[in-house]
Structure 1
Amino acid sequence: MLLFCPTCGNLLLVEENTDCLRFSCNTCPYICNINRKITTRTYPKLKEVDHVMGGAAAWENVDSTDAECPACSHKRAYFMQMQTRSADEPMTTFYKCCNQLCGHNWRD
């Protein structure tokens, strides 16, 4: 927790006095003794994160091909290709099993 000087607006420092702790300002003569424990807890609001691959909508209009699913051995899979590395590298092919009960995802 940061406290600021009410006189000049600079950041207050915590210093140890002979009998207690106190806030003091380096710029002006402001001093405030600390009489009680001062704590605050602030939780940041997290932003909504978009799915990198486009989520479920990315698989709506894709083609299927002959590819064996490593999970259920189904012989057909949906596929899409994306450039995940630099332009001189080949595209990455992502597969999704056509079996509705499986739906396993993998890449090649």
Structure 2
Amino acid sequence: MHELGIMTGVVDAAVGAARDAGAARLLGVTLSIGEMSEAVEDALHFAFDALCAGDPFLEGAELTVNMVRPRSICLECGAEYEHDRFHLFCPACDSFATELVAGRELQIDSIEVDLPDE
């Protein structure tokens, strides 16, 4: 289950950024992850919830996951197209000379924090 490793890195980065900003609590994280990473969305949520459980800084934080569909460009005809993980051939010219341009992402899009009253 590599989702636990992914979410450990995400939580560590989000907590670091939240604490650097002087946050009292982390409320939420929005993550974009490509389908080609083969991460399972339900497993990401499970891992996030497990990592947050029992930590007052993280308890109740929400995870939003945006799954990014694979998109490639054909190096023969220039067509750009979405596809699944298994069908990489160009639908316009049937070439196998393609380049993946989206679908391997793993990025934190945003974090939401609770700032202490001053």
Report the TM-score, using the length of structure 2 for normalisation.
Answer: 0.22
Structure of higher CA gyration radius: 1
Report the TM-score, using the length of structure 1 for normalisation.
Answer: 0.23
